Amino acid sequence: MAEHYKPVKYKAWEMGLEERFQEVFPPLSQREAVLEANRCLYCYDAPCMVACPTHIDIPTFIRKISTGNVTGSARTILEANLMGASCARVCPVQELCEGACVLEHDEKPIMIGRLQRYAMDYADQSKIEFFTKGKSNGMKVAVIGAGPAGLTCAGELSKFGFDVTCYERKVWPGGLSTYGIVVFREPVEVARHEAKKIEDLGVTMKTGHTVGEDIQFEDLFKDNDAVFVSIGLGSVPEMDIPGEDLEGVVDGLFFIEETKTKPLAEIQYGNRICVIGAGNTAIDCATIARRLGSERVTMIYRRSEAEMPAYHFEYQFALGEGVSFSFLTQPVEVLSTNGKVDGLKCVRMDLAEPDESGRRVAVPIPNSEFVVPCDMVIKAIGQLKHTPFIAKLGEYGIKTIKGYIAVDAKTNRTAHEKIFAGGDCIRSRGEASTVMATQDGKIAARAIYEQLTGKPIPEGTLKRTTDMTIDPTMANGCALHDHKPRVHAAATTK
């Protein structure tokens, strides 16, 4: 039987460690892709295209797969979204393009994400150079942070002929695509390759460079005609409970990063793990732990299933992975013996009236403390903002909203004329995601081009940064699903 026809039967105990960390979805075979592409109705003014924050011309790229023009398909995707390979894997498609598919109700939506991945994989394997650096216009732009927003902005500007330098404090570019998305959703090679394609466009990639340390703000602003700030968010905040500093208590993002950067066999994990939080990052930590080999993984969340910020499909995935959930449970202390974590003391909660965010407030039930025995605690309760960095930018006049950098929605320009920003660091409202960050990069690239050259962007470039602005998913901080803060690639609220 052909490889791809094998039914997917995930039985962890029948698989090796490396196998368990292969991508959850196998790539589509050519026949699968063509059959699925042929199911697409090729809607006119298709809703999937509107729902995609980067407005990829989805019916066109799918049609091109069906006709065997996969090269053209990949170009259609990349013209709208240079992070097409990452987005194909990590986008919450059920909430975006596939959720908007007209076949969703009567039939089943087209597998847009997997088709996009098919075209992106093809582009990768066939090593086609879709774009080149534009003729140099002598102007310089600095990008701080080489995540999806920064890479997109850098790539688009380089295509226009700007000399762009990316400053990235990590060893590898790619941001959360490289370090923060679980490896069985997006292998690290995919993210690094995507970043490499941006470098191939003539962008200078200065990794291991921390702005403010290796290069001073002052010099950066002096030497460049514009600066794009895409610094993302930071580590997981403190829970403010006793025992939090114990060795067996780890930051969820750090835990994920280990699986992306270290040989899997070298990763330290507990046998009985409590994961605190119920966002997408928390789910990632729990499922990683299971796939590493933890026998008991319990997610601790102070509200109920209905309030949990993780996507429903992620919740379903975790259940399938054998993760258990302890809802209406608040951790109060990490217990230890001889300095080693051996339990998480929790208190049971009840739900009271909704607070101003509309979610029901959880209140502790008196004398309901209990202990969940565990040898490791993973915190995944959101991400801190890079407050000192943003404060430093404040000296140049940029403004903030709730600690996030404030920008103009149409241009992503900050209060400072030369400074633009995008990605999770501006996501004061709505869900932070790879695809939103990518669109931020595009919007800023357009604005920077227009501001510095005094001309509108050339016809046919930077597809769909302006012509769908009525769409509420587009603007800064305005997400399609405002009620559900995204915790996955960065979380915002606590």
38 contributes a contact to another protein by CB under 8 A: yes
CB of 69 to another protein, least distance (A): 12
72 contributes a contact to another protein by CB under 8 A: no
Nearer to another protein by Cβ, of 33 and 285: the residue is 33
213 contributes a contact to another protein by CB under 8 A: no
CB of 97 to another protein, least distance (A): 14
394 contributes a contact to another protein by CB under 8 A: no
CB of 34 to another protein, least distance (A): 6
72 burial type by CB count under 10 A (0-12 exposed, 13-18 middle, 19+ buried): middle
8 contributes a contact to another protein by CB under 8 A: no
CB of 35 to another protein, least distance (A): 4
Window of 34-42, 296-304, 323-331, 395-403 that interacts with another protein by CB under 8 A: 34-42
Window of 22-30, 33-41, 257-265, 483-491 that interacts with another protein by CB under 8 A: 33-41
244 burial type by CB count under 10 A (0-12 exposed, 13-18 middle, 19+ buried): middle
CB of 276 to another protein, least distance (A): 35
The residue among 180, 177, 150, 152 whose CA lies nearest residue 166 is: 150
CB of 102 to another protein, least distance (A): 4
Q: How far apart, in whole angstroms, are the C-alpha atoms of residue 273 and residue 379?
A: 11
35 contributes a contact to another protein by CB under 8 A: yes
Window of 37-45, 344-352, 367-375, 422-430 that interacts with another protein by CB under 8 A: 37-45
Among 2, 8, 265, 470, binds another protein (CB under 8 A): 470
Nearer to another protein by Cβ, of 31 and 196: the residue is 31
Nearer to another protein by Cβ, of 102 and 267: the residue is 102
The residue among 96, 80, 81, 93 whose CA lies nearest residue 25 is: 93
Window of 102-110, 160-168, 245-253, 339-347 that interacts with another protein by CB under 8 A: 102-110
Size of the residue set binding another protein (CB under 8 A):
20
Nearer to another protein by Cβ, of 244 and 471: the residue is 471
Among 4, 22, 26, 42, binds another protein (CB under 8 A): 42
478 contributes a contact to another protein by CB under 8 A: no
Nearer to another protein by Cβ, of 473 and 476: the residue is 473
Among 9, 105, 127, 135, binds another protein (CB under 8 A): 105
Among 12, 17, 102, 478, binds another protein (CB under 8 A): 102
Window of 108-116, 125-133, 257-265, 470-478 that interacts with another protein by CB under 8 A: 470-478
43 contributes a contact to another protein by CB under 8 A: yes
The alpha carbon dihedral of 237, 475, 151, 281 has a sign of: positive
471 contributes a contact to another protein by CB under 8 A: yes
240 contributes a contact to another protein by CB under 8 A: no
Among 23, 24, 29, 47, binds another protein (CB under 8 A): 47
Nearer to another protein by Cβ, of 31 and 340: the residue is 31
Among 12, 17, 24, 103, binds another protein (CB under 8 A): 103
Torsion of CA 103, 105, 106, 110, to 10 degrees: 30
Inter-helix orientation angle 148-160/188-200, to 10°:
20
Per-residue three-class SS string for the chain: CCHHHCCCCCCHHHCCHHHHCCCCCCCCCHHHHHHHHHHCCCCCCCHHHHHCCCCCCHHHHHHHHHCCCHHHHHHHHHHHCCCHHHHHHHCCCCCCHHHHCCCCCCCCCCCHHHHHHHHHHHHHHHCCCCCCCCCCCCCEEEEECCCHHHHHHHHHHHHHCCEEEEEECCCCCCCHHHHCCCCCCCCHHHHHHHHHHHHHCCCEEEECCCECCCECHHHHHHHCCEEEECCCCCCCCCCCCCCCCCCCEEEHHHHHHHHHHCCHHHCCCCCEEEEECCCHHHHHHHHHHHHHCCCEEEEECCCCHHHCCCCHHHHHHHHHCCCEEECCEEEEEEEEECCEEEEEEEEEEEEEEECCCCCEEEEECCCCCEEECCCEEEECCCCCCCHHHHHHHHCCCCCEECCEECCCCCCCECCCCCEEECCHHHCCCCCCCHHHHHHHHHHHHHHHHHHHHCCCCCCCCCCCCCCCCCCCCCCCCCCCCCCCCCCCCCCCCC
Among 15, 19, 22, 41, binds another protein (CB under 8 A): 41
Among 263, 320, 458, 472, binds another protein (CB under 8 A): 472
187 contributes a contact to another protein by CB under 8 A: no
Nearer to another protein by Cβ, of 36 and 194: the residue is 36
CB of 436 to another protein, least distance (A): 18
Cross-strand partners of 144: 167, 229
Among 106, 240, 245, 467, binds another protein (CB under 8 A): 106
Name the token pair of 472.
């509420």
Among 14, 45, 213, 245, binds another protein (CB under 8 A): 45
The site for another protein (CB under 8 A) is made up of 31, 34-35, 38, 41-47, 50, 66, 102-103, 105-106, 470-472
